[in-house]
Amino acid sequence: MERVNRVSVLLVMIPAALVLAGLGIFAFVIAAKRGQFDDLDTPALRAVFDEDDMLAKTKTTKDTDQDSVE
């Protein structure tokens, strides 16, 4: 009986761990269904350049462009 008491924390921990795993699976399924894993190559390239670096060279034209868009 004493042995059961000492490890009885498991009664809470196992369900807690499984609930966490369940949340992970749930998040994964949602992400996959929304297409977050559809394209694994392009986002890596998207991050290569800072918007500012790219546009610095043509700042004036870009500014007027943005104004007209907004």
Partner 1 sequence: MTVAEMLSTPTGHNVVHMPDDSAQSILCDHCKLPVPQGMIENEAEHQFCCNGCKSVWNVLHGAGLAGYYSVRDAIDPDAQRVSSTNGTYEELDDPSFQSTCVENLPGGLAQTDLLLEGMHCAACVWLIERLPTVLEGVVESRANIRRRTACVRYNPAEVKLSDVARALDRLGYAAHPARGAAAREARVKEDRKFLIRVGVAGAIAGNVMLLAIALHGGALEGMAETWKSTFRWYSMGLGVLSLLWPGRVFFIGALAALRTRVAHLDIPIALALAVGGIWGSYNTISGRGEIYFDSLAVLVFLLLVGRWIQHRQQRNASDHVELMLTLTPTSALKVNDDGSTSRVPIEAVELGMLVEIEAGGSIPADGIIETGETSLDTSFISGESRPIPARIGDTVVAGATNLRSPIRISVTAVGDSTRVGKLMHLVASASADKAPIVQFADRIAARFVLTVISLSIITLTYWSIVSGFATGIEYATALLIVTCPCALGLATPMAMSIAMGRAAKAGVLVKSASAIESMSKPAMMILDKTGTITMGQTRLVKYECDHQLLVMCASIEAHSNHPIARAIAESIDEADRLEATEINQTIGAGISGTVNTQTVEVGSPDYIGSRYPLDNQSQALVDSMIKDGLTPVVVYADHFGFGVLGIGDPIRDDAGESIRALQSVNWNLRLCSGDHPQIVASVAKEVGIENASGSVSPEAKADCVRDLQSNSDRSVVMVGDGVNDAAALAVADVGIAVHGGAEASLEAADIYLTKQGIAPLVALASLASHTMRTIHISLIFSVCYNAIAAILAMSGVINALIAAIIMPISSLTVVALSTRKWKG
Question: With left for phi above 0 and alpha for psi between -120 and 50, is residue 35 left, alpha or beta?
Answer: left
Residue 66 C-alpha from the chain's centroid = 29
Among 13, 16, 19, 37, binds partner 1 (CB under 8 A): 37
Query: Across the chain, which distance is largest between two alpha carbons, in Å?
Result: 79
Least spacing, CB of residue 23 vs partner 1, in Å: 11
Per CB under 8 A, 54 contacts partner 1: yes
User: Is residue 48 within 8 Å of 42, Cβ to Cβ?
Assistant: no
What residue ranges bind partner 1 (CB under 8 A)?
A: 3-4, 7, 10, 14, 17-18, 21, 24-25, 28-29, 32-33, 35, 37-42, 45-46, 48-49, 53-58, 60-62, 64-66, 69
